[in-house]
Amino acid sequence: MGLHAAYPPPPALLAQLGGSPDADLARRQTVTPDRNRGRGAMSNQSGRFERESRETFDDGWGSLETLPAFETNEHEEKAKTVITRNTSPDIAFDRSINPYRGCEHGCSYCFARPTHTYLGLSAGLDFERELFAKVNAADRLREELGKPRYGVKPIGIGTNTDPYQPIERKRKIMGEILEVLHETRHPVTIVTKSALIVRDLDILTEMAKQNLVHVGISVTTLDHKLSRNMEPRASSPARRLEAIKLLSEAGIPVRIMAAPMIPAINDMELERILAAGADQGAKAASMILLRLPNEVRDVFREWLLHHYPDKFRHVMNLIRDMRGGRDNDPRFGSRMRGDGPYAFSLQSRFDLAVKRYGLKRNLPSLRTDRFTAPKQDDPQLALF
């Protein structure tokens, strides 16, 4: 692979890291910036389930080979089922829907990245560019809601990949899902960092009148430059705050989500984020500490090495201080908030800010008693 396929880390950084495992990570060459422009990941390493791995190297041909930029590829998928169940004790819902696999927002810290390795793809650049649209999601949802034994509880959407990422502008799968939920009066909670959600303001407003919808808007920073580095294809912070205002003015309960908080990168903005959300009409707030499960660990550390090499050791040491000396703590409960003095200080700041800005921890419970099973299209099925 030619010289334009990868680039090495600066020698000064390697000297700073010494012989640590982080130095080994730094020596692993990543793709050149012109190939992953507008992307969060710095590499496209093979998933942990693959028998073979990819590695960039200089084959001696110099600049004769110039590889094209990574483009976004859309794939259509026919889902067998669309409602996913979970039993996690630290998550407020037991079922969710993900209209898409992969997410073009390109958040370097996204905990959903490892899901792409189950498809034989990379949690790095593949996660951002190889997107799978569940084109029959609305039909499958209608079928599942129509089952006689279906028990109604709020469905979470956007809990894995963002339902309003750029591909939704064309596919409109989320819009179709909302139509089914509105028709059946089914409660739903939506999480996004995209201003595209205001496209569905009319149907969300009608659902809010029946207490059937909550929306969470994730705002990680108010710094436009930092946002473009961390989440390159997500809506700007200003547009997300505008979405909070429009949703709130329409009577839709909105939560401002300071998530994730990354020590020494955006955690100093915690109070400003919550204040901005409250000013735009948000009624509740939440905070989640950075998580680095499986492949996310290396994707984030590569991003950190590229954008903030001078902060790399400091940031990782703070993360390990909050994770019992490890890069990640997968235990229920602690995985969301961390442990230790730094995590305790961050939580105390959050508690004071919530009180100061008149925000709540939880939005009012959604109604489940309004649910009406969807109509059967098949007249034969309607007999039963």
Structure tokens at 328: 């990640």
Q: For residue 1, what pLDDT is reported?
A: 34
What pLDDT does 66 receive?
Answer: 66
Note the pLDDT tens digit of each residue in 183-200: 999 999 999 999 999 999
Residue carrying the six token digits 């509880």: 153
d(CA 295, CA 4): 25
Q: What percentage of the chain exceeds 90 in pLDDT?
A: 74
Please compute the mean of the pLDDT values over residues 305-309 and round it to a whole number. Answer: 92
User: Is residue 22's pLDDT more than 80?
Assistant: no
Count CB neighbours of 284 within 10 A: 20
Q: Among 10-24, 233-247, 315-329, whose mean pLDDT is lowest?
A: 10-24
Inform me whether the pLDDT recorded for 336 exceeds 50. yes
Distance CA 345, CA 375 (A): 52
Query: pLDDT tens, 120-170?
Result: 999 999 999 999 999 999 999 999 999 999 999 999 999 999 999 999 999
Look at residues 47, 70, 54, 56 and name the one whose alpha carbon lies nearest to residue 120. Answer: 47
Please tell me the distance from the alpha carbon of residue 265 to that of residue 325, in angstroms, as a whole number: 19
Whole-model pTM: value is 0.88
pLDDT of residue 31: 72
Q: Mean pLDDT of all residues in the chain? A: 89
The position carrying tokens 């505008």 is: 242
DSSP state letter for 71: P
* Per-residue pLDDT reduced to its tens digit, 256-303: 999 999 999 999 999 999 999 999 999 999 999 999 999 999 999 999
222-246 pLDDT, tens digit each: 999 999 999 999 999 999 999 999 9
pLDDT given at position 91: 81
pLDDT at residue 11 is higher than 60: no
**Would you tell me the crossing angle of helices 312-322 and 296-307 to the nearest 10 degrees?**
150
Is pLDDT larger for residue 196 or for residue 375?
196
What are the residue ranges spanned by the domains of the chain?
Answer: 73-184, 193-291+328-364
Q: What is the band of 93 on the pLDDT scale with cuts at 50, 70, 90?
A: confident
The CATH classification of domain 193-291+328-364, taken from the options 3.80.30.10, 1.10.3720.10, 3.30.300.250, 3.40.50.12780: 3.80.30.10
Give pLDDT, residue 311. Answer: 95
